[in-house]
């Protein structure tokens, strides 16, 4: 009985940590999946209580692998891992919670999902737990999957400018919520330098938010619509992202990038691919 062994070990004055391996069961989203050696894969997983986890899945690329196609990016899983002495955990079991199958048939949704996973992996790359970030990522993937399904049913010949603006707005709203979870939400209620509540005309990454006319040195202009988009996106659910045109979204993206560069030294890929 493992419990008795542990108790005996502890009683004998042996440190529990000397038990060199243990099983970990967790939910996870596959952020990245890279080929490794003959038939293995290295995975980046995002979990609710262990943050980002690196794992190796052995023999997964063999046709008869018991994991099937489950260890691909964007799968949400119940996963079993074996934690040994190495940096990577070993995958010992996986059950699908959601494979997001519709998303996989839509190039735009797939691209958006890859950018969402990349942003989470870069901003939350440690084992620090952020269950809110895990939930946010799951909601964003579910939403992309649902909308890919809708687009397929409507048999749209291709994405219109409107739907690609909606996609970019959704991606930026997601990033703003990630900033909030990382403790980096930009100050939007008053000038981030002096506290002035009126005449907020710019955005400064260094100051960490909107700035007034007197403090605008080192800032870039921020339209009222862009300011409102950020406040609304932070206050609303991901299913209820405000609409905005390309120039406004461009300013929002720049504000997010400036915040991340100054305060997290992180640079993300563009929020959305070029409209095709």
Beta carbons within 10 angstroms of residue 57's beta carbon? 25
Q: In which residue are the tokens 């209820």 written?
A: 240
Q: How many CB atoms lie within 10 A of CB 191?
A: 24
Least distance (Å) between residue 256 CB and Zn ion? 21
User: In the structure encoding, which two tokens stand for residue 222, read together?
Assistant: 């921020």
Tokens of 49: 């209580």
What dihedral angle (degrees, nearest 10) is formed by the CA atoms of 106, 107, 108, 110? 80
- Smallest gap from Cβ 100 to Zn ion, in A, equals 44
In the complex, least distance from residue 192 CB atom to Zn ion, rounded to whole angstroms? 8
Choose the binding region for Zn ion from 76-84, 89-97, 191-199, 243-251 (rule: CB under 5 A): 191-199
Find the part of the chain contacting Zn ion (CB under 5 A) among 56-64, 87-95, 185-193, 252-260.
Answer: 185-193
Q: Which stretch binds Zn ion (CB under 5 A): 63-71, 153-161, 173-181, 189-197?
A: 189-197
Least separation in angstroms between CB 203 and Zn ion? 12
Residues of this chain, 210-269, that bind Zn ion according to CB under 5 A? 212, 215
Cβ-based nearer residue to Zn ion, 10 or 214: 214
Q: State the number of binding residues for Zn ion (CB under 5 A).
A: 6
Q: How far is the CB of 197 from Zn ion (least distance, A)?
A: 10
Q: Compute, in degrees rounded to 10, the torsion defined by CA atoms 23, 28, 32, 35.
A: 40
Determine which helix (DSSP H) or strand (DSSP E) holds 76, and give its type and residue range: strand 76-83
Q: Which stretch binds Zn ion (CB under 5 A): 62-70, 173-181, 194-202, 258-266?
A: 194-202
- In angstroms, give the least distance from the CB of 222 to Zn ion: 13
Closest to Zn ion by CB, 215 vs 226, is: 215
Check residue 193 for interaction with Zn ion (CB under 5 A).
yes
- Beta-sheet strand order (sheet of 200-204): 209-212, 200-204, 220-221
Find the shortest distance in angstroms from Cβ 195 to Zn ion. 7
Phi, psi of 204 (to 5 degrees): -125, 120
Q: For residues 72 and 29, is the Cβ–Cβ distance under 8 A?
A: no
Nearest to Zn ion of 107, 194 (CB atom):
194
**Nearest CB to Zn ion, comparing residues 170 and 209:** 209
Which alpha helices (H) appear in the chain, and where do they start and end? 2-11, 101-104, 107-123, 131-153, 161-181, 224-235, 246-263
Query: Contact region for Zn ion (CB under 5 A) — 99-107, 124-132, 153-161, 187-195?
Result: 187-195
User: Which residue has 């120039």 as its token pair?
Assistant: 247
189 Cβ partners below 8 Å, 6+ apart? 197
Q: Which residues make up the interface to Zn ion (CB under 5 A)? A: 191, 193-194, 196, 212, 215
């Amino acid at each position: 009985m493992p419990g008795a062994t542990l108790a005996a070990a502890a009683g004998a004055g042996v440190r529990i940590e000397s038990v060199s391996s243990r099983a970990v069961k967790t939910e996870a989203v596959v952020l990245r999946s890279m080929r490794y050696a003959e038939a293995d894969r290295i995975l980046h997983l995002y979990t609710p209580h262990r943050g980002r986890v690196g794992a190796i899945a052995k023999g997964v690329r063999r046709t008869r692998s018991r994991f099937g196609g489950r260890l691909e990016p964007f799968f949400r899983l119940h996963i079993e891992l074996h934690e040994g002495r190495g940096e990577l955990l070993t995958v010992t079991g996986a059950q699908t919670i959601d494979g997001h199958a519709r998303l996989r048939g839509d190039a735009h949704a797939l691209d958006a999902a890859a950018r969402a996973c990349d942003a989470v992996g870069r901003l939350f790359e440690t084992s620090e737990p952020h269950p809110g970030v895990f939930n946010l990522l799951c909601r964003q993937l579910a939403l992309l999957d649902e909308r890919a399904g809708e687009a397929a049913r409507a048999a749209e010949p291709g994405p219109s400018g409107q739907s690609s603006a909606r996609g970019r707005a959704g991606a930026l709203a997601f990033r703003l919520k990630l900033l909030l979870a990382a403790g980096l939400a930009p100050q939007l209620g008053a000038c981030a330098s002096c506290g002035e509540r009126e005449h907020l005309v710019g955005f400064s990454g260094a100051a960490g938010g909107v700035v007034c006319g007197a403090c605008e040195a080192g800032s870039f202009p921020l339209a009222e619509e862009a300011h409102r988009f950020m406040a609304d996106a932070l206050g609303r659910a991901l299913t209820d992202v405000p609409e905005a045109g390309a120039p406004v979204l461009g300013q929002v993206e720049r504000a997010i990038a400036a915040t991340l560069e100054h305060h997290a030294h992180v640079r993300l890929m563009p929020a959305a691919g070029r409209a095709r």
